[in-house]
């Protein structure tokens, strides 16, 4: 039986957060949930407002890539107003919340690929995009854009089968998107409140990274670097040990594994 369309009432049934997910806007089809969330944030929407779409026609991923969101998946953008000093922890916040919510909802083992892809058996199941507006000394708003492959049958997308997966593929049965969203909002709020009270996200984020110690190829802008993913910094950067032994700090890039 097909899952019911998402509605605010369905998603909030049993949700016990203080503010994340307490205001939900659901759309059948949008170009991008990030575009709507940006307008809401500029208009000072309540913190924790979530924009959800059944389908996205022009969703965006990192590095200006497109993110495909057919029906049966999750496309959500959440608005936050954190102090500026937490800017660099937003990627950690979003990726850990997704990882924990998938584990808690399905029991599936997940890992993180630097900086914020969520993987199952080394295939991407979630993409995350953060957007912020900053001024001198302050962060006006932050938007966490999250796309999760939930009930997407990968056989219908052969071009993605080697690199991506979905929860239904891994679990062998459909997953309730409403339940997963409730768990995601719960995890986002738990981690966000912990972060703002002084609990660092870095140790847990680093512990779940599958990239460290592996031979990698990193594309940063138009340049490709190769080496070993030596470590990560508390600001979220990747420390790459190049083949000549030198260390290089990378703040933005896309990582792929190299052949041994």
Q: How confident is the model at residue 113 (pLDDT cuts 50, 70, 90)?
A: very high
Interatomic CA distance for residues 235 and 132, integer angstroms: 16
Domain topology for 8-207: BirA Bifunctional Protein; domain 2 (3.30.930)
Q: Which one, of 162, 191, 177, lies nearest residue 90 by Cα? A: 191
What angle is formed at CA 247 by the lines to CA 241 and CA 252, rounded to 5 degrees?
85
Would you kindly state where each structural domain of the chain is located, as residue ranges?
8-207, 215-257
Supply 129's token pair. Answer: 């995009």
Domain 215-257 has CATH 3.40.50.460: no
The 10s digit of each residue's pLDDT in 208-248 is: 999 899 999 888 777 888 999 999 999 999 999 998 999 99
Tell me, what's the pLDDT at 68? Answer: 61
Residues 6 or more apart from 169 whose CB is under 8 A from it?
A: 152, 153, 154
The 10s digit of each residue's pLDDT in 34-90 is: 999 999 999 999 999 999 999 988 655 544 555 567 789 999 999 999 999 998 899
The 10s digit of each residue's pLDDT in 123-143 is: 999 999 999 998 877 899 999
Q: Whole-number mean pLDDT of the chain?
A: 91
Interatomic CA distance for residues 105 and 130, integer angstroms: 24
């Amino acid at each position: 039986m097909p899952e019911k369309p998402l509605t605010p009432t369905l998603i909030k049934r049993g949700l016990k957060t203080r503010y994340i997910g307490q205001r939900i806007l659901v759309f059948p089809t949008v170009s991008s949930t990030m575009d709507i969330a940006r307008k809401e944030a500029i208009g000072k929407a309540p913190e924790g407002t979530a924009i959800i779409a059944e389908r996205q026609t022009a969703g965006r991923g990192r590095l200006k890539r497109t993110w495909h969101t057919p029906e049966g998946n999750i496309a959500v953008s959440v608005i936050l107003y954190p102090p500026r000093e937490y800017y660099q922890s937003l990627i950690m916040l979003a990726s850990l919340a997704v990882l924990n919510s998938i584990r808690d909802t399905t029991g599936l083992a997940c890992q993180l690929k630097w900086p914020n892809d969520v993987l199952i058996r080394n295939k991407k199941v979630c993409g995350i995009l953060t957007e912020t507006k900053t001024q001198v000394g302050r962060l006006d708003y932050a938007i966490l854009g999250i796309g999760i492959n939930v009930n997407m049958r990968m056989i219908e997308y052969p071009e993605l089968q080697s690199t991506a997966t979905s929860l239904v593929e891994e679990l062998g049965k459909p997953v309730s998107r409403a339940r997963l969203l409730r768990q995601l909002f719960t995890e986002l709020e738990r981690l966000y409140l912990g972060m703002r009270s002084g609990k660092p996200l870095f140790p847990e984020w680093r512990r779940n990274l599958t990239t460290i110690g592996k031979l990698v190829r990193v594309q940063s802008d138009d340049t490709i670097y190769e080496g070993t993913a030596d470590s990560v910094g508390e600001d979220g950067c990747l420390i790459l040990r190049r083949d000549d032994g030198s260390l290089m700090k990378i703040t933005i890039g896309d990582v792929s594994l190299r052949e041994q």
